[in-house]
Amino acid sequence: MKPDTRRETVAGPAGAIECAIDEPADGVMARGVAVLCHPHPQFGGTMDNKVVQTLARAFVQLGYRAVRFNFRGVGGSAGAWDEGRGEIDDALAVIAAQRAAAPGLPLALGGFSFGGYVAANAADRLAATDAVQRLVLVGPATSRFA
């Protein structure tokens, strides 16, 4: 992504979750946080997927902090593939960490393909809290994981 992309880890249910965080332009306060989910890890999906990076870039241009992360067992994230269940829990852990780091900022969730499935399910789990203000799904997987 950008040369100033910040890398950090978040504690997740299966261990450390690797994250890449991009901030709005220097001197611009973030107007929200966007947590973005990548395609299916069993088919090569990572947080560095070009569609996920494009989503991150778009959110940064809109003034959001963009947070991409690798699901369990991908890149520097601990754990192993959990057929979608654990991956939703990973997303919820990243969301919780970002909400703690930036309380009060609006939350957007986004995802591509399998990541769209994860983002939609995470939004559903958080529906009672009104935490999610925006949901952006690009080619979401629906039938196989519904």
Place of tokens 């299916």: 40
What pLDDT does 1 receive?
54
The answer to whether the beta carbons of residues 83 and 110 sit under 8 Å apart is: no
Q: pLDDT digit string (tens) for 87-141?
A: 999 999 999 999 999 999 999 999 999 999 999 999 999 999 989 999 999 999 8
The pTM for the full model equals: 0.95
What pLDDT does 3 receive?
72
Identify the weakest region by mean pLDDT among 11-15, 22-26, 47-51: 22-26
Token readout for 39 is 């395609």
Token readout for 37 is 């989910």
In which band, very low, low, confident or very high, does the pLDDT at 42 lie, cut at 50, 70 and 90?
very high
**CATH fold for the domain made of 6-138:** Rossmann fold (3.40.50)
What pLDDT does 145 receive?
57
Domain ranges of the chain: 6-138
Cβ-proximal residues to 80 (8 Å cutoff; 6+ apart), any chain = 14, 72, 73
Burial of residue 66 (CB within 10 Å: 0-12, 13-18, 19+) is buried
